[in-house]
Amino acid sequence: MIIAANLKTNLTRKETKQYIQELDTYVKNNAISQEVLVFPAMSSLDENDSSVIVGAQNAYPTKDGAFTGEIGTVHLDEFGINTILIGHSERRHILGETQELLIKKFNYYKDLGFKIVYCIGEPLSKREAGESEMMEYISTQYEGIDTNYENLIVAYEPLWAIGTGITPTLEDIESIHKELKKKSPAPLLYGGSVKVTNAKDVLAIDNVDGILVGSAALYAEHFCSMIGFAEELS
Ligand code: PGA
């Protein structure tokens, strides 16, 4: 399974280093065979020789150049990073990234062979509008994306579940993951208010190949417990 932590705008470089060390110790001491990914804040990227894969939460589709506030592959290469998160709802909705830009990023990083965690998910209004409207909305987020890309991981994260403490029911997750699996053979993660208290149940659902965790992953101990659940279930 794939257990991923999105640290968002949290943890300094020093804190991130300690965090990754804690995960690394847990993974090694417990002979964990799951894939553990961590997406630190941009300025917390650093050298990494741990058992954990470190990825970027964002990068511009460029090597370098004049893109104020963005980073390019020279900055990722410095730390041997070849994993990236694309399409997270906070970048789509708070930073205003369009599907067009996401396609550009996707293709750029795909051509470089990056492991891409591509996020999709509907707002509450689409969920409430019923199954077909919701699926239609989600389908637009697959537009222009090579769903057969070998290094693709898809993360389904309903917007209304992110950071809210509210999650879909286990039955709802099961039914939407079943539908989404028809769209892409890539591993499919669930994200949105995954916590120590529900992670095991979520991981046990059919067609859930892992989890993408935000707030609850900020505590290394909690995140390690989730890694442990995945190991038990595998
Ligand atoms: P959350 O965030 O676990 O805090 O809901 C998940 C995410 O945004 O990836």
Q: Is the CB of 152 under 6 A from ligand 1?
A: no
| Nearest alpha carbon, ligand 1 atom 2 | 214
Q: Residues 87-134: pLDDT tens digits?
A: 999 999 999 999 999 999 999 999 999 999 999 999 999 999 999 999
What are the tens digits of pLDDT across the range 144-157? 999 999 999 999 99
**What contacts 102, CB < 8 A, 6 or more positions away?**
86, 87, 92, 144, 145
Give the predicted TM-score (pTM) of the model. Answer: 0.97
88 is catalytic: yes
What does the pLDDT look like over 35-77, one tens digit per residue?
Answer: 999 999 999 999 999 999 999 999 999 999 999 999 999 999 9
Pick among 3.90.550.10, 3.20.20.70, 2.60.120.10, 1.10.3720.10: CATH of 2-233: 3.20.20.70
Ligand 1: atom nearest CA of 212 is 9
Q: What is the mean pLDDT of the chain?
A: 97
Pull the structure tokens for residue 118: 């591509």
Ligand 1 centroid vs 66 CA: distance in angstroms? 31
Closest alpha carbon to 119 in 74, 87, 159: 87
Distance CA 69, CA 36 (A): 28
